[in-house]
Amino acid sequence: MTEYFHFSKKKWPVGQILSGSGKPHVDREVERKIQATRPQGKLLRDDAFYLVTKPDFTRLGLSGCGYIHKVKPLEAVQTHDAFWLGQLQAKHLLAKVRARANNANLDERVAAAAVKIDLTCKEICQKYWSGESSEKYWAGSPTWEVLTSRVEVIGYLSPDAVCVQDTKDGWRERPKG
């Protein structure tokens, strides 16, 4: 049976039903591009609740400390490789940097380095929505995000707050002291 996890700054009580916020999860322009290519039957990202199957939150754009909730999806799940979303964000950032009248060469080099593949935004969006793995496009492993409409909190991986950077390669209780 697949286990699902959600990271939140708030510790939700066991039994709590959670659903999407209705707000964009990344830059509004990036969300607009990805939503414009959303196939019929796929969840609206703004209305989705985000989960992972491996409690590593370091590659999902999260920061700070919070709680890792064990959750049970109450609706069907859809799995996507978040690498594609990251590439769409990197292309958007690069375009913004290049459009600035006073852009510095360093800013452009940094933004360009984040773009790891030479695909159009539409191609990237199609790969995201199809659930295609990014493993053949770069040396890293896929970062799977799971979307659903509603979940129930069924427990926690730690009773205490955990910092995102401590979840690298998957959270596991560390010895104290």
Tell me which residue of 115, 99, 117, 97 sits closest to 107, measured CA to CA: 97
- Listing DSSP states for 129-174 in one string gives HHT---TTTSSSPP-EEEEESEEEEEEES-SS-EEGGGGTTS--PP
DSSP one-letter code for 68: E
Q: Which helix (H) or strand (E) holds 49?
A: strand 49-51
Residue 133's CATH number:
3.20.170
Report if residue 177 sits inside a domain.
Answer: no
At residue 108, the pLDDT reads 56
- High-pLDDT (> 70) share of the chain, %: 85
Report if residue 173 sits inside a domain.
Answer: no
Report if residue 133 sits inside a domain.
Answer: yes
Tell me which residue of 90, 101, 77, 68 sits closest to 2, measured CA to CA: 77
Report if residue 15 sits inside a domain.
Answer: yes
- Between 50 and 171, whose confidence is greater? 50
Report if residue 54 sits inside a domain.
Answer: yes
Model confidence at 9, pLDDT cuts 50, 70, 90, reads: very high
Mean pLDDT score, 26-45 = 91
Would you state the structure tokens that stand for residue 53, as one six-digit string? 């199957």
Domain limits for position 53? 4-167
- Between 139 and 108, whose confidence is greater? 139
Report if residue 172 sits inside a domain.
Answer: no
- High-pLDDT (> 90) share of the chain, %: 51
Could you read off the pLDDT of 62-109 as tens digits, one per residue?
889 999 999 999 999 999 999 899 888 888 877 776 666 555 554 555
Tell me which residue of 25, 58, 19 sits closest to 162, measured CA to CA: 58
- Number of structural domains found in the chain: 1
